[in-house]
Structure 1
Amino acid sequence: ENSEKVIQAYRESGMRVSYAPMLANKDSLLVGGRGGEDEFAADLPEDLSRRFKELTAPSYLPAEEITAMVEDLYAKYYERPEEKVRVTVAPSNVHRCTDNLLVGLRDLASKYETGIHIHLQETIYQKLYGLRTWNKTPLQHLKDLDFLGSDVVCGHGVWVTDEDIETMASHRVSLCHNASSNLRLKSGIAPVNYFLDKGLRIALGSDEAGLNDDKDMVQEMRLALNIHRVPGVDKTPPTAHQIFQMATVNGAYASCFGDRVGTLKVGKRADIVLMNLENIEKPYLNPEVSIIDAVVHRGRSVDIDTVLVEGEVIMRGRKLTQIDEEILYKEVEDMMSRSPTEDELDRRDLAEKVEPYLANFLEGALPSSDQTHYYYNAKY
């Protein structure tokens, strides 16, 4: 029911959507080198442990129930496809799903040709959990489950190993790079240069709104361009054209729309962004400079004037045509400014009380090894 409401909201906005409801049945709040939620709860004082378990336990359903619940949604859009709606399988993360849930969702994705999006080794803690639990990285565990394939998109991939990169390349796995979110959350920087060396298809994302306030894909392109310019004349960073391809062509494939959008050519849908170049070209732009270079280096979201989806204008003159923004923002403001419920206050109190124990649970996670993909500075 909630999924249909979300999809309907996208329909009313005129936007194209690859809808991927996040699915998990374990350890959704935390993992680390010392284990997951059960191990963390065991380290808490009795009262806090009880409250923590009461918070997490009710949200986890058996794998069979989850796959049965979501199969109807996948089947509906497989049997009655829509031009602007795709529904994809999204196991939240390797550590957040039991093996039978991962295998079940893999089977559903194959059956209904949906594509798969899964978070992968976004943090060092997720990697260390894999080494503790499976004696290998989460990606290598997915390989053991026969989960990987060309229809799989891994989000983040910050803490992958050289072996992981080789595995992704050999299984034709794609990756979604979320540069600003990774920086904001102190997750790290994904080794995009190494991904490119191995021929991986990389899409560009901005992550969830709560983790990236601006949702500015033009700014995201510039950030992704700049943070991978590592020192050394022998290091080759991504070009502006490669970054633009990540945000357009590769983004279309990552969202399961690669057959219809991402490029402007005969036979594809008219998803088009029109930009006002005044701010980009002034005070001067050398005619020899590629327009792609200019947009990636100088562009901002304020320069986007008009947006078409499937040939329909959904923004003109920076004004949405399908939605009354003032009414929408007022609804959001009213909803978010209400007084917190008793349940929300209890969760906030619990979070404040367990935070010191969480820091101790995760302490000492960062490895002392200097074997890094990128090398930015040195102590001596």
Structure 2
Amino acid sequence: MSARRLLAKLHSWVGAVVALFLVAISLSGAALAFDAELFRLQYPYLASTDPARAANAPPQVDAMLGAARAGYGREFEPMGLFMPNSRVEVDTAMFYGLRPGGTGLEDTVMIVVDPATNRYRGDFILDHAWGHQLIHFHHELFAGEIAAAFVAVLGILLAAFALTGLYLWWPRHGPVRRKARVPHLSGRPLGRWYRVHSWIGFWTAIPVLVFGLTGTAVSRPDWFGGLLAKLPYETPAELAPAFARTCQGQVTPDQAIAIAQAALPGQRLATVGFAHGNEPYRLTFKSGSPLDHIEGDTVAFVHATCPGVVRTAQATGARGVLGQLMFSLHSGRSFGPVLGDLLVLIGGLASALLAGSGLYVFVARHLTRRKRAREPAWIAHPAE
């Protein structure tokens, strides 16, 4: 068996085995082009009363936190804050933390504050949000960490299908442009779907490859052998001594932001992780042209009690640049709000259509062969 024939068999057999899972992940990924719309549809108060002012207003986190606590009206210990257009593309800010008596992610409450007015707008349980459920399904099929690892493997397989499909499609004789034309849709269904499958695979190979690899990189960056460096979530060991001592007094969120911005002039706040115990504030910022359009490409750790202690880390070198790009590329944010959503939609729908049509071709081809094998010889090979 030639190497090309072996590759074709692997492409079709492995593709058939995982096709239905790929359809589910791809369609949910396509739907995530509208995740912000889902959040706003379910919770209309995620829209600011003055979007232009909300986008440009300097962050007043102390005032927003006071409004969030007063509006929520119950005990609430904030864990962090998403500023406008960070995790979700909405123009309001969202505090998150555990509701009273809560113990896990399913008890995370989101309290919405308008940055234009610093007023409470509403609150909701994160696990009840349609947009969050869609993300949850896309990441792990509602089935935990083992399923999340399986989905990450699907991302690698999707990229492999794009590359092997492109290789198998590439004409060995004749110009590429002739084969790349829109296929004719006449003839038997098997041939028609095979031509459609091949044509879509050629024209969408690059976005399918990119979304497959970046999806795995976002979920399992450690699988890439140290090629991807992300901003630290915990205080790095080499910075820990600076935060070991305590001082008199307390650094407020606004003070922490001012301290960080003094060290990072010209950058815009994206997220806030609040200080707890001996842990410092963790603040992420977006530069003028951020690598990560979601959470930014710079992080600052600010001491909770010592105003002069701040340490920053940025995405530097090839590893840092690649690591910070992954989430932004996979979500489409790197390409802007319109083109990015369009690419996510195209990539997801194309992947689902390729998986579905590939499965149809595989099953139809094998049924046809079995039917021919059962036919009497005089029917299969009539006398001349």
Q: Decide which structure has the larger Cα Rg and report it.
A: 2
Q: TM-score, normalised by structure 1?
A: 0.22
Which structure's relative contact order is higher, taking Cα pairs within 8 Å and 6+ residues apart?
Answer: 2
Greater helix share, 1 or 2?
2
Q: TM-score, normalised by structure 2?
A: 0.22
